[in-house]
Amino acid sequence: MPVLTSTSKALQTHSVTKQKVLFVTSEIADLVKTGGLGDVSAALPRAMSPLHDVRVLIPGYPQVVNSDNPIHVVGELGGHAALPPCKIGRMDMKDGLVIYVLLCPELYEREGTPYGANNGRDWPDNHIRFARLGLAAAEIAAGQGMVHWKPDLVHAHDWPAGLAPAYMHWRGLKTPTLFTIHNLAYQGVVSRGCCPELGIPAHAMQQEGLEFYGKLSFLKAGMAYSSHITTVSATYAEEITTPEFGCGLDGFLSSKAQQGQLSGIPNGIDDSWESATDPHLVCPFSLNDWDGKAVNAAHVRDLFELEPSTGPLFAVVSRLVFQKGLDLTEGVSEFIVNAGGQIAIIGRGEPEEEQAMRELALRFPGQVGVRIGFNETDARRMFAGSDFLLMPSRYEPCGLSQMYAQRFGSLPVARRTGGLADTIEDGVTGFLFDESSIPSYQEALRRAFYVFDQPDLLNAMRCRAMTQPFNWCKAVQPYAKLYDELVGRSVGKSGTY
Ligand code: ADP
Ligand code: GLC
């Protein structure tokens, strides 16, 4: 569970009025996560808690309803079109975070991830499952369901929550909405024929609404009907207004940017990312304790059945999907191994990517090790034990792994894109390359090998990386300001800044 970050500086400049904010998300790391959205959903509401009363709404997957935390039913919502009725449960986390759980066993209590079965296939009724989430948020915002807590603002995340602002709009609610894009490539696009099932009015199927090339897009709904859009780094906020990164929505996003309705607020990492105290590590270590770091490296080599080595250890901790550029890592692996490096890979994702990683390990026995699956302890040990983290992402809205790695003295070798460009200082805290190509990647790796051979240089870079100020304080201020402005605007007064 994330540790609360100090937000005292933010408090000094903030008004005393706490806004009530409903944070609508499909993952929260305490209970269930498939990637960074889960981490952010666990950390950001907690980091905001000194300033605002932020409560989370999440579907009642098995990982949620079967957790050790008791759930008390506090409300009930009726059905709408093909969306079934559901109950609202309240879960109080030990540190005070309130999570509203959407209880609807027929939609959510299935073995698998939040989005699909364990074989990687998405649930065919995801449009119903996540429309139900969006509608529940809108109903809570309207004061329905006897929840006895009515938000001043709804903050919805990614396509699964995209219909929340839309249902609020169609119901004439004045409550302001903020929509955060964590990944523009996942859009929740379904046939327009689904509109009646979801209770979507016919007039919404237009360019200014949720229509996307003749289909219905949950992501577009979130963008079109919210009061403001954010994404998770300044560079990605610019990139998504271009055809290269805009996933077909660049024109729409450019016009939002021109109207001042699109901004980038970078993610942070929570205070549990402290190498000297992390209980997951086999050997917690402080700045300059490189022998301690080496104990973690030996553990990772053991875990991945790598031969003992004095060469550099490269880690991949990633969802195994196209975005992450794993084919490029495959392409440079021979170069890494020939130069005396080893690679440890952990993650899961698309079946073809998983298979490609297994085959890579078979090609280089004892030098490349792969574990398909994910667990937090191994991930943390890999950040602590590795010398370098490989992150050749084709695009990266923010990226958390490169920040975790730096905090644990592992220097990222990453593509200069999105949040990677904003959080890695080339040649100072890691190595950046420009093109999604093997030569460009290899050039950065050559520099990494060069630094590895110069212990003074390597250790100086590790120190710079480990002391980067990546905590949530920096993000809390802009979010708090935005919450205030949006609520202020909606009640016809200016913000408190
Ligand atoms: P993304 O959200 O695109 O996967 P981030 O770098 O923002 O990338 O976040 C990655 C987070 O997800 C880290 O906490 C990482 O340890 C974790 N993670 C990586 N791969 C997986 C996986 N296959 N399943 C669950 N969590 C994962
Ligand atoms: C997405 C992005 C990642 C980002 C995370 C949290 O999954 O791919 O870059 O860090 O969301 O915002």
pLDDT of residue 241: 98
Cβ(65)–Cβ(73) below 8 Å: no
Q: Which domains are assigned to the chain?
A: 5-269+473-492 (3.40.50.2000), 291-466 (3.40.50.2000)
Question: If you take atom 7 of ligand 2, which residue's CA is the nearest one?
Answer: 36
For 95-108, the pLDDT digits (tens) are 999 999 999 999 99
Nearest CA to ligand 1 atom 25: 34
Any ligand 1 atom below 6 A from CB of 209: no
Nearest residue to 341 via CA among 299, 308, 312: 312
**Residue 388 Cα, ligand 1 centroid: separation in angstroms?**
17
Q: Quote the CA–CA distance of 441 and 433 in Å, as a whole number.
A: 6
Residue 168 Cβ contacting ligand 1 at under 6 Å: no
Low-confidence ranges of the chain (pLDDT < 50): 1-12, 493-497
Q: Which of 285, 303, 307 shows the shortest CA–CA distance to 294? A: 285
Which residue has the CA at smallest separation from atom 16 of ligand 1? Answer: 379
> Does the Cβ of 383 fall within 6 Å of ligand 1?
no
Which ligand is closest in space to the CA of residue 270? Answer: 1
Ligand 1 pocket, residue 348 CB under 6 Å = yes
The bound ligand whose nearest atom lies closest to the alpha carbon of 321 is 1
Measured in Å, residue 454 CA sits from the centre of ligand 2 at 33
Expressed in angstroms and rounded, the spacing between residue 289 Cα and the centre of ligand 2 is: 31
- CA–centroid distance, 318 to ligand 2, in Å, is 11
Ligand 2 centroid to Cα of residue 2, in Å, is 17
Q: State the closest ligand 1 atom to the C-alpha of 396, by its place in the atom list counted from 1.
A: 3
pLDDT digits (tens, 9 = 90+) for 309-325: 999 999 999 999 999 99
Q: Measuring from atom 27 of ligand 1, which residue has the nearest CA?
A: 35
φ/ψ bin of 425: left (φ > 0), alpha (ψ from -120 to 50), beta (otherwise): beta
Q: 400, 401, 415: which to mutate for ligand 2, most atoms within 8 A of CB?
A: 400
Q: Which residues contact 429 (CB under 8 A, 6 or more apart)?
A: 406, 411, 412, 461, 464, 465, 468
Separation of 221 CA from ligand 2 center, angstroms?
A: 20
Q: For all residues of the chain together, what is the average pLDDT?
A: 94
Contacts of 396-399 with CB under 8 Å at 24 or more apart are 396/236, 396/323, 396/420, 397/181, 397/182, 397/183, 397/184, 397/231, 397/232, 397/233, 397/236, 398/36, 398/182, 398/232, 398/233, 398/236, 398/266, 398/267, 398/422, 398/423, 399/36, 399/423
Distance 397 CA to ligand 2 centre (A): 6
pLDDT at position 118 is 86
> Is 396 touching ligand 1 by the criterion CB < 6 Å?
no
Task: For residue 399, report the distance from its CA to the centre of ligand 2, in Å.
Answer: 5
> Would you state the pLDDT for residue 10?
46
- Which pLDDT score, from 0 to 100, does residue 5 have? 41
